[in-house]
Amino acid sequence: MEKDPALAELHVLAVDDNDYILRLVKMVVTDLGVAECLIARDAIEAMKILQANRGTINLMICDWNMPGITGVEFLRKLRADKLDMPFIMLTARADEGSVIAAKEVGVDAYLIKPFAPIQLEKKLKALVRGEEEVPADPFA
């Protein structure tokens, strides 16, 4: 993976109830040279991490389907609390309705599981460059 100097400024919070996905995300973003990658297994844990690191976390990578609060509900709460940071949604949902729902709540990038590390790398680099937006076709 090619490091991008702009990624060195990122403090990432990855949220997923699947330990394999968390390890994969942490490995990819760490290999890309981000400043920090914290992990949470659900939205409640993520909120605690955000409060403890207020103003530091500047990019979120979050699963849609988690126990308790979903990724969409979590993003709504973040936006209501004026926490405006890029948000990458991880999900197995590839249907048009889910993509539209994600876009409506402010998801900045949409990554369908299972994904290859290069796909996450491309999403991160595009977000940092201001090029990423949720596509109408999630496979685009």
Q: What is the mean pLDDT of the chain?
A: 91
What is the strand order of the sheet 11-15 is part of? 36-40, 11-15, 59-63, 87-91, 109-112
pLDDT digits (tens, 9 = 90+) for 97-120: 999 999 999 999 999 999 999 999
- Phi/psi of residue 62, nearest 5 degrees: -140, 140
Q: Per-residue pLDDT for 88 more than 60?
A: yes
Closest CA to 132 of 74, 86, 92: 86
Which domains does the chain carry?
A: 13-94 (3.40.50.2300)
Rounded distance, CA 139 to CA 135, Å? 8
Alpha carbon 53 to its chain's center: 17
pLDDT digits (tens, 9 = 90+) for 53-74: 989 999 999 999 999 999 999 9
Label residue 131 by pLDDT band (50, 70, 90).
confident
Q: Which whole number is the average pLDDT over 13-20? A: 98
Whole-prediction pTM: 0.91
